[in-house]
């Protein structure tokens, strides 16, 4: 086989490989866009497993059951001052921000190796995952925090704060 033929075959193969790589990347980009579109919708559905579908979000019966049986209520009560201080450090300007910061603060406590086993036990006992327990706990924390910042639960739905 001469070298020119071999080089031609290599060039053709590289071209074919490039074509297929481009198709894969194009499809991957489309999948990424689809996932980005689906993610907020799934998040809303996940939250509505434990909360009623009105604003402001309030725990439904399943959420109340998790709050009372998972140990998250006691955990929030035990660390309430530190949790509120963590929200305060974020400088919330309205009730909606307090709600969102409560979710963030609660989500971050799972990295504490002393608290994680309690969260895992609570999740196991109630048949949900740790993130679900923390979400329920965040609603409880929000409700306890709002008065500390001179807000009421109804203030979360105030359309003026979202502008």
Number of domains in the chain: 2
- 38-63 burial, b for 16+ CB within 10 Å, e for fewer? eeeeeeeeebeebbeeeebbebeebb
Say if 8 falls within a structural domain: yes
Kindly state whether residues 141 and 92 are assigned to the same domain: yes
For residue 79, tell me if it sits in a domain. yes
pLDDT of residue 124: 95
Quick one: 109 and 157 in the same domain?
yes
Does 24 share its domain with 90?
no
Cα distance between residue 32 and residue 27, in whole Å: 9
Q: What local confidence, expressed as pLDDT, does residue 89 receive?
A: 96
pLDDT tens digits for the chain (163 residues)? Answer: 688 888 888 888 888 888 888 888 878 777 776 666 666 656 665 666 777 766 788 888 999 999 999 999 999 999 999 999 999 999 999 999 999 999 999 999 999 999 999 999 999 999 999 999 999 999 999 999 999 999 988 877 654 444 3
Phi-psi region of 127 (alpha: psi -120 to 50; beta: other; left: phi over 0): left
Residue 52 resides in a domain: no
Domain range for 23 = 1-47
Are 97 and 66 in the same domain?
yes
Identify whether residues 94 and 31 lie together within a single domain.
no
Q: What is the pLDDT of residue 122?
A: 95
pTM: 0.69
Is there a domain that residue 120 lies in? yes
In a domain, 53, yes or no: no
Would 42 be classed as within a structural domain?
yes
Residue 55 lies in a domain: no
Position 29 scores a pLDDT of 77
Helix (H, G, I), strand (E, B) or coil at 51: strand
Same domain, 97 and 42: no
Residue 149 lies in a domain: yes
């Amino acid at each position: 086989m001469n070298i020119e033929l071999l080089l031609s075959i290599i060039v053709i193969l590289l071209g074919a490989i490039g074509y297929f790589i481009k198709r894969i990347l194009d499809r991957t980009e489309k999948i990424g866009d689809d996932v980005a579109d689906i993610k907020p919708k799934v998040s809303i559905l996940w939250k509505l497993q434990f909360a009623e579908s009105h604003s402001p979000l309030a725990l439904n019966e399943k959420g109340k059951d998790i709050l009372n049986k998972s140990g998250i209520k006691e955990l929030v009560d035990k660390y309430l001052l530190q949790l509120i201080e963590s929200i305060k450090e974020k400088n919330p300007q309205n009730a909606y921000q307090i709600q969102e910061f409560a979710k963030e603060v609660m989500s971050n406590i799972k990295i504490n190796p002393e608290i994680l086993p309690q969260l895992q036990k609570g999740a196991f006992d109630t048949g949900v995952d740790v993130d679900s327990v923390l979400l329920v706990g965040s609603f409880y924390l929000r409700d306890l925090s709002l008065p500390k910042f001179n807000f009421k639960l109804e203030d979360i739905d105030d359309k003026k704060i979202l502008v």
